[in-house]
Structure 1
Amino acid sequence: MQTITTLQAVYNALEHVMDPEIPVLNVLELGMITDVKIDLEGVHIKMIPTFSACPAIDLIRENITNTVERELQMPAIVTVDKEVNWNSNRLSEEAKEKLRNYGIAAPVRHEGDVSLDLLEKANCPHCGSESTYLRSPFGSALCRALHVCRQCGMMFEQFKPL
């Protein structure tokens, strides 16, 4: 038996779908959800990956489906939105703060032109210093770069500005 639900109930359920690589962030905070519709077939959700070659996209899609179906007791149809590209400006301010608390530097807001200069600049999430340098444009995941802080000596990752 299908139940009637609201868009707010869907968004409430989506708050429980965490990123598998950064488990302090949910898909809403990451700006991954581009559309939600409810009809007689169920809940239709469009999502975008944070990086075009994200290896976790199938897992995230499955987690969205399972969470929405479990919490709302109705079918969920999750598709990748091919018309919207994710960029780091989609991260909420809450997400950026959670990244810093998790030890990952948040990307800076940009006006659409992403240059190497944006990738090289990252404030240390451990001590807040601006005196850091890019060690490698590739971190533990494709969407992150590796930096070192000259002030505290800590190595840290930065969520790449895209």
Structure 2
Amino acid sequence: MVTALQNDIRQRAWDAAAKVVDPEIPVLTIADLGVLREVTMNDGCVEVAITPTYSGCPAMNVIALEIELALQREGLTSAKVRTVLSPAWTTDWLSEDGRRKLKEYGIAPPQKGSGRRALFGKQTVACPQCGSEDTELLSEFGSTSCKALWRCRGCREPFDYFKCH
């Protein structure tokens, strides 16, 4: 039976973890990304489950450490972070606020509803700077493994596109 105190602790833990930012895209929190999956209580211990955007994502170790530190600052010293690989993360888990933040940061957000479908060369990606859809893929590999490099033919600016998957 879950008590009111356990619910309060769980909510405090969720709120603290949800504020942790992605070290590769610091305008996004792990809640924006959908990486923060759940917070549970097991035998008096807070357990935070996270799912990486990619199974080999180098940011996950930093994210786990930042979650532990955020929980400690909340006085939740009996905590552990668990990585969950199934179901695999999808860009469909990005929040609307996260998509907006990406665009404002200059990264084209993934097209909604296109998670797990990489359609490079066959899709239209709007430039986050000027909004033009006259864009082209330069490289499927951008500044990080979760982004591709595109260029706008309208404003001639290069930009990252957060890959769909």
Q: State the TM-score, normalizing by the size of structure 1.
A: 0.90
Distance 1:91 1:112, change over 3 A: closer
Spell out the pairing of 1:24-103 with structure 2 (5 A cutoff).
24-103=27-106
Identity of aligned residues (%): 38
Indicate the residue corresponding to 1:125 in structure 2: 128
Q: 1:89-120 CA distances to partner (integer Å, 9 max, x unpaired)?
A: 00000000000000000000235551424774
Alignment length (residue pairs)? 160
Could you say which residue in structure 1 is the equivalent of 2:26?
23
The CA RMSD measured in Å over matched residues stands at 1.9
Contact 1:136–1:145 (8 Å) recurs in 2: yes
2:113 alignment partner in structure 1: 110
Q: Which runs of 5+ in 2 are unaligned?
A: none
Cα offset, 1:132, TM superposition: 0.5
Query: How far did 1:41 drift?
Result: 3.4
Matched, 1:6 2:24: no
Larger mean CA deviation between 94-103 and 120-129 belongs to: 120-129
Per-residue CA deviation, residues 111-137 of structure 1 (Å, 9 max, x unaligned), is 555142477431100011111010000
Contact 1:119–1:160 (CA under 8 A) maintained in structure 2? no
Give the TM-score of the pair, scaled to structure 2: 0.88
Structure 1 ranges of 4+ moved more than 4 A: 117-120
Q: Which amino acid aligns with 2:22?
A: D
- Contact 1:46-1:81 within 8 A present in 2 as well: yes
Gap change, CA 1:78 and 1:33, over 3 Å in 2:
same
1:151 alignment partner in structure 2 = 154
Q: Which runs of 5+ in 1 are unaligned?
A: none
Q: Is the 8 A contact 2:46 2:79 kept in 1?
A: yes
**Which SS does the other structure have where 1:158 is aligned?**
strand
